[in-house]
Structure 1
Amino acid sequence: MGWLAGQRVSRRAVVTLSLLALLPWGLQKAEAASKAKPAPIAPIATAAQASARLGFDLLSQLGKGKGNDPNPVVSPASLTAALAVLDLGASPKFHAALVKTLRLDTVGDSGDLKSLRASLVPLIDGSKADGPLTGISAVYFDPRGGPKPAALDELKQAGVQADVRDLSDAKTIDDINALVKDRTKGLIPTLIDEPLRKGGLVVLNALHFKDDWRTAFDPAQTTQMDFHRIKGGDAKVAMMQSGSGHWLARQDDRFIAVALPYQTKGYDLLLLTTKDKPAALADFAPAASWLTGEGFAESEGTVSLPRLSIKAGADLRGSLDKLGLDPAVRAPDALSGFLTTPQKIDKIIQKVVITVDEKGTEAAAATAVTSRSLAMPATFSFVADKPFLFALRDETSGQVLMAGYIGDAAKAQ
């Protein structure tokens, strides 16, 4: 399964990428903690653990599809930021579903989405973003959906860019994509492919991460090595090689993990693999809680890591329904705090890009939640059973090419 396959490990703890630990959206500083033997997945106790669980569960859902990508990548943080903004207009039932889906239902006080939004300010309010991680969130309301003025005010107070625009206008979609392209430094040029024609909204988040390793890999040491896949045998890949050093690491009889720090304090790339045979994504479940960096301690060793360049994208709606959004997401009043017309959430689109090389990492993600109005459009019945006028028009030039009056249709048969 591509980079979700394990790599044989030597006595010097050479680690090969198996699961990207929510990079960079869940990048957490790996704290040197207890050296006790790790247990199976524990109950969620912190928001960081909820983010790690969301990432693993979402990857697992994506991996269940037929013809699934061997290298799935998701951005829990971009998704969380978008859904946390969506929560500002959610009904009580939909709010509870969002809390469950984000794996915050057992977190206690830290599971409060208001507190979560406050912790995500760098990903929500673009004016306050700083350092290697920057982001922005925005909401675009179609006027036909009946946006509530109070909702616009609340969004702006939360640092969310909010606007009322015609979502059926191609210019509006171009502007949304231009914002995504700008905030992802060109890595994601488009997110929404076509205009939305039924009076809904777009909730958007975009983020960008770029930083160098605290200790760079020497390009001269990068060599072709075997990557041991679950299916299809071994494949040659460009493997970066570190020298011996001290890293925050964790291991047990089956799994081994290491945290590679970036120049900016508080950010790292956490890598987790198996010690023996290659493992499928589902086999990593007992060690999924390691993705928070908890239980890591400083150890001496070396690291071997493939260069990576990955682009991925999917509609996450179906997977998120299985994680807890359904059936609340289908209720007509799900977004009653935002819009006066009943809404149906259509898609939850996410695109991600990541490059990992000898110098460091650059990554971007963008998420868009789109909805449409369920209000019945006005109907009419035009019956030309009496005299009528007609005009054949050229909309581009404004010219009427032909005009006529039919006073007796029987003589025009």
Structure 2
Amino acid sequence: MNRRELLALSGALAAATVAGCTGTEDPPSETDTTAPPSTDTPTDEPPTGEPGVDDERLAALAAGNAEFALELHNHLAANTGGNQFLSPYSISVALAMTYAGARGDTRQQMEDVLHYTLGEEIHSAFADLQAELDSRQTATDPVDDSEVDAFQLSVANTLWGADGYPFSDDYLGLLEEHYGAGLREADFAGDPDGERERINDWVADQTEDRIEDLLPAGSITPQTVLVLTNAIYFMASWLHKFDPENTEDGTFTALDGTESTVPLMHQEMDRVNYASIPGAQAVELPYIGEDVSMVLILPDEGTFEEFEQNLTAAQLFGIFEEMSDATGSLVFPRFEFETEVQLSKALSELGMPIAFGGGADFGGMVEGGQGGLFIDEVFHKSFVSVDEDGTEAAAATAVVMLESLPPSWGELRFDRPFLFCIRDRPTDAILFLGRVTDAGAAQGSE
């Protein structure tokens, strides 16, 4: 959910009435501002619900991702106060590829924070979801029934690994199978900044140049071992476009009470999904093809922050379930902006600090389960543009991983008595044990 109030209603959502609630009434007229009395038990809480998909694995993935999305959104929003736009899907995919190599407490903390309730099945679930998204590429034109491109929706994943590093074949195979993520060798030790630019170029190419410079200067060093990247690009037309001739300048009141003049789009909505719930109103704007939509939620005046911080995934799904056909007048601003965040602090504070330190266990990424890999930083950048024609959105996430350096003891001088033993390492059998108390007397014969 976006931090700012996406809807600026100088004409407000003309209190459209939910149609079909009684099963007999027609939708209210566009000028009807009186909602019919509800037969439901009054409540001060928004309704609750569950994901609407029948597939249990996809439902669990959607529910978990929504929980993570709202928790991360609210954590960041509480510390920024401005406009915010994220792709929880991009972040979850990039971290799922990282999670595939996690072990022990590192793995458990990632499961808890990211709400990966499916364990190892999370990877095949993401593959199933990607297949579902791929099927949204085409739709039937409502005018002549011809097949048309519904929108652009592309997702790409890639790994960038240090030359010669002993990555596990099983780990690489899992990511190739479920995420289509191949490994590209990178000379992080010899040319870290060149590799940074190479990764940034790949991200820009995957997002139609909407996401540039995902990795800032200095983010890749000779100690970098692995970078896991996800990029997503989306562009779609509204099923019902706004007429630019109806767009007029109007006043938008920001969260802090300041006012600004912005272009406000106007449209008389004919039978679109709408809901009036305790504390808010919601309307759904479908894109061409109708499988994908934008849901706008307008909390009651003066309650935005309280509603935002208390909104749960179950309540969000409840809003989806509550919506039904209605008509009304919509006033909605054009907008375009970017969000750029580094997520290590937020993810640590949400409950997965182990992954970001030398105590992390990502042994599943490495042959033999050895190595000291840990997450250095998670970079995320996103872009959104909404106008009369539709929406363009892009995002990318990069998980940068380092190998912790072995501890240094400086100089250790065995110039005084010491013990020593010779052991069989696989069994820890002590084969020999001794001490040296006088090295001068232990020089042997000349």
Shorter-chain TM band: 0.7 to 0.9
What is the rounded CA distance, in whole Å, between the counterparts of 1:55 and 1:289 in structure 2? 12
338, 354, 362: which one aligns with 1:335: 362
Aligned to 2:158: 138
Change in Cα spacing, 1:205 to 1:173, as seen in structure 2 (3 Å) is same
Cα gap change, 1:186 to 1:56, in 2 (>3 Å): same
Residue among 350, 353, 372 paired with 1:323: 350
Specify which of 389, 394, 415 is matched with residue 364 of structure 1.
Answer: 394
TM-score (norm 2): 0.71
AA matched with 1:136: A
- Does residue 160 in structure 1 map to residue 181 in structure 2? yes
Letter in 2 for 1:133: L
Equivalent-residue separation in structure 1 for 2:381 and 2:78 (angstroms): 19
Q: How far apart, CA to CA, are the structure 2 residues paired with 1:150 and 1:247?
A: 48
Give structure 2 stretches of 5+ with no counterpart.
17-38, 52-58, 139-148, 412-446
Change (3 A) 1:229 1:289: farther
Q: 1:43–1:218: structure 2 CA closer, same or farther, 3 Å change rule?
A: closer
1:247 matched residue in structure 2: 272
Judged with a 3 Å threshold, the aligned counterparts in structure 2 of structure 1 residues 333 and 312 are, in CA distance, closer, same or farther, namely closer
Secondary structure at the counterpart of residue 100 of structure 2: helix
Change (3 A) 1:289 1:237: farther
- 1:119 aligns with one of 128, 132, 138: 128
Are 1:229 and 2:254 matched, yes or no? yes
In the TM superposition, residue 323 of structure 1 has moved relative to its aligned partner by: 2.4
Give the counterpart letter for 1:359 in structure 2: D
Cα pair 1:124 1:160 within 8 Å, conserved: no
Displacement of 1:326 in angstroms is 2.4
CA spacing shift, 1:303–1:287, aligned 2, 3 Å: farther
Q: Is the 8 A contact 2:13 2:328 kept in 1?
A: no
User: Bigger radius of gyration, 1 or 2?
Assistant: 2
The letter of the residue matching 1:88 is A
Distance 1:221 1:124 in 2: 33
CA RMSD of aligned residues (A): 3.3
Look up the match of 1:215: 240
Partner of 1:344: 374
Deviation per CA, 1:218-242, whole angstroms, max 9, x where unpaired?
0011111221223143222111111
Residue 89 (structure 1) shift: 1.2
Name the CA distance, whole Å, in 2 between partners of 1:119 and 1:196.
35
Matching of residue 262 in structure 1 with residue 287 in structure 2: yes
In structure 2, give the amino acid aligned to 1:295: E
* Displacement after TM superposition at 1:142 (Å): 1.4
Partner SS state of residue 258, structure 1: strand
Distance (whole Å) between structure 1 residues aligned to residue 242 and residue 181 of structure 2: 39
Displacement after TM superposition at 1:118 (Å): 1.8
* Structure 1 position 190 matched with structure 2 position 213: yes
Asked if structure 2 preserves the Cα contact closer than 8 Å seen for 1:7 and 1:274, the reply is no
Three-state SS of the structure 2 residue aligned to 1:300 is strand
Q: Secondary structure at the match of 2:75?
A: helix
**Alignment: residue pair count:** 354
Counterpart of 1:3 in structure 2: which amino acid? Answer: R
Q: Does 1:178 align with 2:187?
A: no
Distance in 1 (alpha carbons) for counterparts of 2:160 and 2:132: 17
The whole-number CA distance in structure 1 between the counterparts of 2:126 and 2:358 is 24
Secondary structure at the counterpart of residue 231 of structure 1: coil
Cα distance 1:119–1:96, how it changes in 2: closer, same or farther (>3 A)?
farther
Contact 2:46 2:277 in 1 (8 A): no
Mean CA deviation greater in 285-294 or 39-48: 39-48
SS at match of 1:4: coil
Determine if contact 1:41/1:286 at 8 Å carries over to the other structure: no
Q: Alpha-carbon deviations, 1:258-291, whole Å to 9, x = none?
A: 1100003310011001233352265452476454
Q: Distance in 1 between matches of 2:271 and 2:289?
A: 17
Deviation at 1:155, TM superposition (A): 2.4
**1:297 match:** 324
Question: Gapped runs of 5+ residues in structure 1?
Answer: 15-34, 382-413
Shift of 1:372: 0.8
- Give the Cα–Cα distance (whole angstroms) in 2 for the partners of residues 173 and 265 of structure 1: 39
- Displacement, 1:321? 1.8
**1-10 or 74-83, larger mean C-alpha shift:** 1-10
Task: Answer whether contact 2:49 2:321 (CA < 8 A) is retained.
Answer: no
8 Å Cα contact 1:144-1:200 kept in structure 2: no
One-letter code of the match for 1:342? G
SS at 1:358 equivalent? coil
Amino acid at match of 1:206: A
Amino acid in the other structure paired with 1:319: A
Find the aligned partners of 1:137 and 1:110 in 2 and give their Cα distance: 21
TM superposition shift of 1:111: 9.1
Q: How does 1:385-400 map onto structure 2 within 5 Å?
A: none
Matched letter for residue 72 of structure 2: L
Per-residue Cα deviation, 1:67-88 (whole angstroms, up to 9, x for no partner)? x251011110000111111122
Number of the residue aligned with 2:55? none
**2: distance between equivalents of 1:43 and 1:247?**
20
Once residues 87 and 235 of structure 1 are traced to their aligned partners in structure 2, the CA distance between those partners, rounded to angstroms, is 44
Mean CA deviation greater in 356-365 or 164-173 = 164-173
Asked whether the equivalents of residues 90 and 334 of structure 1 are also in contact (C-alpha less than 8 Å), the reply is: yes
Distance in 1 of aligned mates of 2:128 and 2:294: 20
| Identity fraction in percent | 23
